[in-house]
Amino acid sequence: MPTLDRSLIAKLPPFRALSSEELSAVLALARASRYPKGSEVFAQDAEAHAFYLLLSGHVRVVRTTPDGHQIVPRYINEGELFGIAVAMGRTTYPASAVAAVDCVVLAWPNSVWPQFQSRFPSVTASTYETIGTRLQDTHSRVEEISTQQVEQRIAGAVLRLARQSGRTTAEGIEVDFPVSRQDVAEMTGTTLHTVSRVLSAWEEKGLIVSGRQKIVVIDLNGLATLGEGRRSST
Amino acid sequence: MPTLDRSLIAKLPPFRALSSEELSAVLALARASRYPKGSEVFAQDAEAHAFYLLLSGHVRVVRTTPDGHQIVPRYINEGELFGIAVAMGRTTYPASAVAAVDCVVLAWPNSVWPQFQSRFPSVTASTYETIGTRLQDTHSRVEEISTQQVEQRIAGAVLRLARQSGRTTAEGIEVDFPVSRQDVAEMTGTTLHTVSRVLSAWEEKGLIVSGRQKIVVIDLNGLATLGEGRRSST
DNA sequence: CGTTTTCTTGAACAGATTCAATGCGTGTGG
DNA sequence: CCACACGCATTGAATCTGTTCAAGAAAACG
């Protein structure tokens, strides 16, 4: 069995503070797996047996409500932890994680978490920071949905996608995994119809270029201005 | 100076696992203060110097957006921790905390957090659990705002208030601190006008009794049924 | 007893959803 | 290799839920 290379994770925030030996120890406890596009890393409400780190690819986190609606709380980027239910004292996953493209993932069984606490406190500290950041992000989402118009919210979501998961191309900044109108709708609490209309309008204005499951931001500042909205200013 | 009584906190979830000596040690590091109704325990974006436990009263947590809108992420009940920015690696408070009624609060300086980590790990573990729970609650909020009608959301908010902060009276279950229509609006992402109309309609139907900054739930089940909504059923 | 804060309620308006029909790409199977 | 089917996207029209605007009443406060 090929040993995982320490360099894979040495530079990532959760492991930055670890020595070579510690990195090896951490890796020795992990298992790497490949998840093809569309496959599920874990399912909402399933028993949480492990926590994960995304080595490459993009993962969509999805919550399904009792009445069948779906919302996308976030996308996971390379180098981020996810499925860290154990750090919150939870026994089940609160959402599903689906590979948005082909992914490579490290998994640690939950049973190693207590060891991490004592042997690698910098890792668990970083995990708690991650959770804190996500709590803040989620509060910002509530704020946005509560106070902003749909167009502003879509602008915010598209900007976040471009900034966090964007790849610079000849045309502009392209979201580097497939995003449908429906996905954006689930991120912003609206319908795919409205998203489609809004994106079409932006394309007309030259702010973006878009296509089937594709969004390319041309004018970042223009979008940002839209996102600020006209609630107090106008 | 009067020593704080151990019994004050012995039964609370964060401290349940501690021995008498440990409780004393924890209390010795704390400072108790009174906050009159309407006063601020800490302010949004201020440097976080301490974390808190609410001994008695109710605290409203408020976020103000750049454009002046306010949202109420949650109310803190007796026995709950709040202002735990330090556990998330934050240096400022993400929201303000205002006494909804006269309150008594324990405060620990952030500098003791590392000691808590090593000496009272059950306390910090409980703290992380609290943060995890709040993250889940907040995701539920996003879900609600994204998928439910205003009336359902208000029903959800009122039910939560009644269940978490309700006091049983002759009339029914009364929210035991002053809640204005504006407050409910800020919890549900709507306007005080709409809240007023909805509450009036419910009063008409005999589901609640309400008055100035007062809400008494008469028919819990009736409200719960409303909250489930007619998205899929009708 | 006047002032302020909270609450109520009508009327008009508007943003976004819903309904419905159609177009376009991509990938698959004949 | 082409045709067809399915998933994704677009766009009009009708509708509606909830906001906004406006005015006023009731309860608390000093």
pLDDT digits (tens, 9 = 90+) for A215-234: 999 999 999 998 886 544 33
* CB within 7 A of nucleic chain C: A 149-151, 189-191, 193-194, 197, 211-212; B 180-182, 192-193, 196-197, 199-200, 203, 210-214
- Distance to chain A for B40, nearest Cα, Å: 20
Q: Which residue reads 């006269």 in tokens?
A: B102
Handedness of CA A175, A180, A183, A189 (dihedral sign): positive
CB of B10 less than 8 A from some CB of A: no
Question: In which region does residue B52 sit, left (phi positive, over 0), alpha (psi from -120 to 50) or beta (all else)?
Answer: beta
Kindly list the residues from chain B whose CB atom is less than 8 angstroms away from the CB atom of residue A134: 135
With a cut of 70, say whether residue B232 has pLDDT above it: no
Q: Which residues contact A74 (CB under 8 A, 6 or more apart)?
A: A61, A134, A137
What value does the mean pLDDT take over residues B40-49?
Answer: 97
Handedness of CA A85, A88, A90, A95 (dihedral sign): negative
Strand A214-217's sheet: what is its strand order? A166-168, A173-175, A214-217, A208-211
Q: How far is CA A33 from CA A17, A23, A30, A36, B225, in A?
A: 25, 18, 10, 10, 44
With a cut of 80, say whether residue A35 has pLDDT above it: yes
- Distance to chain A for B127, nearest Cα, Å: 9
For residues B80 and B108, the answer to whether their CB atoms sit within 8 Å is: no
What value does the mean pLDDT take over residues A59-81?
Answer: 95
What value does the mean pLDDT take over residues B200-224?
Answer: 96
CB of A201 less than 8 A from some CB of B: no
Element holding A152 (H helix, E strand): helix A150-165
What value does the mean pLDDT take over residues B208-219?
Answer: 96
With a cut of 70, say whether residue B3 has pLDDT above it: no
Residue B120 sits at φ, ψ, to 5 deg, of -130, 60
Question: With an 8 Å Cβ cutoff, are A133 and B73 in contact?
Answer: no
Q: What is the pLDDT of residues A180-222, one digit of tens each?
A: 999 999 999 999 999 999 999 999 999 999 999 999 999 999 9
**Residue A3: per-residue pLDDT:** 66
B34 DSSP β-pair partners: B104
> Which residue places its CA closest to the C1' of nucleotide D27?
B212
**Residue B2: per-residue pLDDT:** 57
**Residue A7: per-residue pLDDT:** 87
**Residue A234: per-residue pLDDT:** 32
Q: Which residue reads 């670890």 in tokens?
A: A18
What value does the mean pLDDT take over residues B72-91?
Answer: 97
As a whole number of angstroms, the distance between CA B149 and CA A189 comes to 12
As a whole number of angstroms, the distance between CA A122 and CA B211 comes to 52
Question: Straight-line distance from CA B185 to C1' D26, in Å?
Answer: 21
Question: Straight-line distance from CA A191 to C1' D11, in Å?
Answer: 14
**Residue B80: per-residue pLDDT:** 97
CB of A200 less than 8 A from some CB of B: no
Q: What is the pLDDT of residues B102-123, one digit of tens each?
A: 999 999 999 999 999 999 999 9
**Residue B234: per-residue pLDDT:** 33
**Residue A97: per-residue pLDDT:** 97
pLDDT band at residue B233 using 50, 70 and 90 as cut-offs: very low
As a whole number of angstroms, the distance between CA A138 and CA A118 comes to 29
pLDDT band at residue B8 using 50, 70 and 90 as cut-offs: confident
DSSP letter for each residue of B93-108: -SSEEEESS-EEEEEE
With a cut of 70, say whether residue B180 has pLDDT above it: yes
**Residue B64: per-residue pLDDT:** 96
With a cut of 70, say whether residue B192 has pLDDT above it: yes
Q: Which residues contact A9 (CB under 8 A, 6 or more apart)?
A: A15, A23, A26, A27, A53, A55, A106
CB of B31 less than 8 A from some CB of A: no
- A67, A73, A141 member nearest B232 (Cβ): A67
Q: Is the CB of A149 under 7 A from strand D?
A: no
Q: What is the pLDDT of residues B138-160, one digit of tens each?
A: 999 999 999 999 999 999 999 99
Question: Straight-line distance from CA A115 to C1' C18, in Å?
Answer: 53
**Beta pairing class for B103-109 and B50-56:** antiparallel
pLDDT band at residue B231 using 50, 70 and 90 as cut-offs: very low
Question: With an 8 Å Cβ cutoff, are B142 and A146 in contact?
Answer: no
Question: With an 8 Å Cβ cutoff, are A129 and B89 in contact?
Answer: yes
Look up residue B2 and give its DSSP letter.
Answer: P
Kindly list the residues from chain A whose CB atom is less than 8 angstroms away from the CB atom of residue B14: none
- Distance to chain A for B89, nearest Cα, Å: 5
B121 DSSP β-pair partners: none
With a cut of 60, say whether residue A39 has pLDDT above it: yes
Question: Straight-line distance from CA A210 to C1' D3, in Å?
Answer: 28
- Distance to chain A for B140, nearest Cα, Å: 9
**Residue A2: per-residue pLDDT:** 57
SS3 of A32, please? strand
Strand D-contacting residues in A 195-224, CB cut-off 7 angstroms = 196-197, 199-200, 203, 210, 212-213
pTM of the predicted model as reported, rounded to 2 decimal places: 0.94
CB of B5 less than 8 A from some CB of A: no
Average pLDDT, chain A: 94
Question: Straight-line distance from CA B192 to C1' C4, in Å?
Answer: 18
Q: Which residues contact B167 (CB under 8 A, 6 or more apart)?
A: B173, B174, B175, B176
* Cα-trace Rg, chain A: 19
Q: What is the pLDDT of residues A129-153, one digit of tens each?
A: 999 999 999 999 999 999 999 999 9
